[in-house]
């Protein structure tokens, strides 16, 4: 993949975590980057540090009209996109003793529906771009059912299927699709977890790894390797064995819910 000054990216969830670290990796190459999040201040910092490279397009991506307007703004400014990285998302945990469907609704809307709105806005711009590449942030949690991950896991499993189906349909147009499946990464989202995060990576290391892999356009970027080497065999076990493993992981108190 050629990374030139004119290559144009759109990155969502750019204000913190993997998104902010990825923004740094992209901008250091001299590329142009459109950045989205609900928090405007961190996006303006990027535009100040990398003058002439950053297009600030903030907004609530769960609002389809807002996303449509972001797409129109990018089209007016640039006319096309070469790479779109849909990274924005959230995580909330479910307490089955007080099951709240609104948690499922919120997480699915943020992680899955918002991504579909962004895809709708991005595809016309990618079709006009050079060597177009669509990237979605899934999760390694989709390989194995985990306790209290009903909302997060369902949203990310849906996002994975969405991107993998799109990969087939977009292939004749030359638009390549990559799914990212991180294990534990130290971000503001995961620091709220009240359980151990084995083999977790610093966010800067995760971003460097992801960006380095982009040049090969893999179908999936799954990491860290040591974590995946444990998780993947577990995902191949019979459902009853997975159930017993999951039951042992259940905690007496649910983790703190993230409130975006």
Mean pLDDT of 2-8: 63
Confidence (pLDDT) at 80: 98
Name the CATH superfamily for 8-249. NAD(P)-binding Rossmann-like Domain (3.40.50.720)
Query: Would residue 50 show up in a list of annotated catalytic residues for this protein?
Result: no
Instruction: Give the C-alpha separation, 134 to 11, whole Å.
Output: 11
Confidence (pLDDT) at 9: 98
* Identified catalytic residue from 9, 93, 117, 152: 152
Instruction: Give the C-alpha separation, 112 to 157, whole Å.
Output: 9
Q: For 152-192, what is each residue's pLDDT tens digit? A: 999 999 999 999 999 999 999 999 999 999 877 765 554 45
Q: Is the pLDDT of residue 92 over 50?
A: yes
Confidence (pLDDT) at 228: 65
H helix runs in the chain, sequence order:
17-28, 41-49, 64-77, 101-108, 114-127, 150-170, 203-214, 225-235, 239-249
Mean pLDDT of 30-34: 98
Q: How confident is the model at residue 64 (pLDDT cuts 50, 70, 90)?
A: very high
Confidence (pLDDT) at 148: 84
Q: Which of 44-53, 62-71, 220-229 has the lowest mean pLDDT?
A: 220-229
Q: How confident is the model at residue 142 (pLDDT cuts 50, 70, 90)?
A: confident
Mean pLDDT of 114-134: 98
Domain ranges for the chain, please list them. Answer: 8-249
**Residue 145 CB neighbours (<10 A):** 16
Q: For 198-238, what is each residue's pLDDT tens digit? A: 557 889 999 999 999 999 999 999 986 666 666 666 666 57
Q: Is the pLDDT of residue 115 over 90?
A: yes
* Rounded to 5°, angle at Cα 110 from 125 and 106: 155
Instruction: Give the C-alpha separation, 181 to 179, whole Å.
Output: 7
């Amino acid at each position: 993949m050629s990374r030139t000054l004119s290559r144009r990216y759109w990155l969502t969830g750019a204000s913190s975590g993997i998104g902010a670290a990825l923004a740094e990796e992209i901008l250091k190459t001299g590329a142009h980057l459109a950045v989205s999040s609900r928090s405007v201040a961190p996006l303006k910092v990027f535009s100040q540090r990398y003058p002439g490279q950053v297009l600030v397009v903030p907004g609530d991506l769960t609002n389809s009209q807002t996303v449509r307007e972001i797409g129109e703004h990018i089209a007016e400014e640039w006319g096309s996109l070469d790479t779109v990285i849909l990274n924005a998302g959230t995580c909330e945990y479910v307490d089955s003793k007080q099951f709240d469907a609104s948690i499922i609704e919120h997480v699915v809307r943020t992680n899955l529906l918002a991504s579909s709105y962004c895809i709708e806005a991005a595809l016309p711009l990618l079709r006009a771009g050079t060597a177009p590449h669509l990237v979605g942030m899934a999760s390694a949690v989709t390989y194995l059912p985990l306790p209290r991950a009903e909302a997060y896991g369902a949203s990310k499993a849906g996002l994975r299927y969405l991107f993998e189906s799109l990969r087939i349909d977009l292939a004749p147009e030359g638009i390549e699709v990559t799914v990212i499946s991180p294990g534990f990464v130290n971000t503001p989202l995961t620091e709220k977890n009240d359980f151990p995060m084995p083999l977790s990576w610093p966010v800067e290391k995760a971003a460097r790894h992801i960006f380095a892999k982009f040049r090969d356009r893999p179908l999936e970027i799954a990491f860290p390797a040591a974590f995946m080497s444990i998780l993947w065999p577990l995902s191949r076990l019979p459902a009853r064995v997975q159930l017993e493993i999951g039951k042992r992981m259940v905690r007496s108190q649910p983790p703190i819910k993230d409130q975006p």
